[in-house]
Amino acid sequence: MIIRRFISGFGALWLRAKGLKIKRGLVLYGKPITHLTEGGTITLGENCVLCSKSEANFAGVNHPVILALLRPGAKLEIGDDTGISGGSFCAAKSVVIGKGCLIGANALVTDCDFHAVKPEGRRHNSNPDDIGCEPVVIEDNVWLGANVTVLKGVTIGRNTVVAAGSVVTKSLPPNVVAGGSPAKVIRDLEEK
């Protein structure tokens, strides 16, 4: 336990030196991959856990946690007490994750398409006007199962559970279980 906290403390210093804003209590299992842009911010709340090693998650982590800003001025915020296992978070505008969230192994959360949809010159087109981008909000206490993908413009309401392997293309209300591709509400959490 003491060794893990020391390494996490060192890791937090290393991430701060790279420009991340980190509140106290960060726990790291392995080294995350980070990318900041000019004027952009990545903020990690209190007591966040970033698991970048399979040895620390028996569901298996395919790659380190990735925290990436894609355009100048983008923001990525991860709330207090949120745990992430090998997830990828890419923000061209804004990705905000609430407090107390569980992000399953290898989830992907992104607010952009990465490439232009129009076919002409798609591979080399980096014009922001041609690449779809809308903010993503994941509210407090949301659980994303392993291998969930959350796409641009989505808001997931508080307490919602998204089943493993789901692709979330539209916003989900609070207090539900959702799943599928595209994800749909399966049931209300208030049901018995």
Q: If 0-12 CB within 10 Å is exposed, 13-18 middle and 19+ buried, where does residue 105 land?
A: buried
Residue located via tokens 């089943």:
163
Residue located via tokens 């994750």:
97
Q: Catalytic: 115?
A: yes
Q: Which of 35, 63, 115, 124 is catalytic?
A: 115
* Tokens standing for residue 5: 């906290």
Per-residue CA distances from 33 to 12, 163, 168 (Å): 13, 26, 24
Distance CA 188, CA 72 (A): 39
Catalytic residues: 115
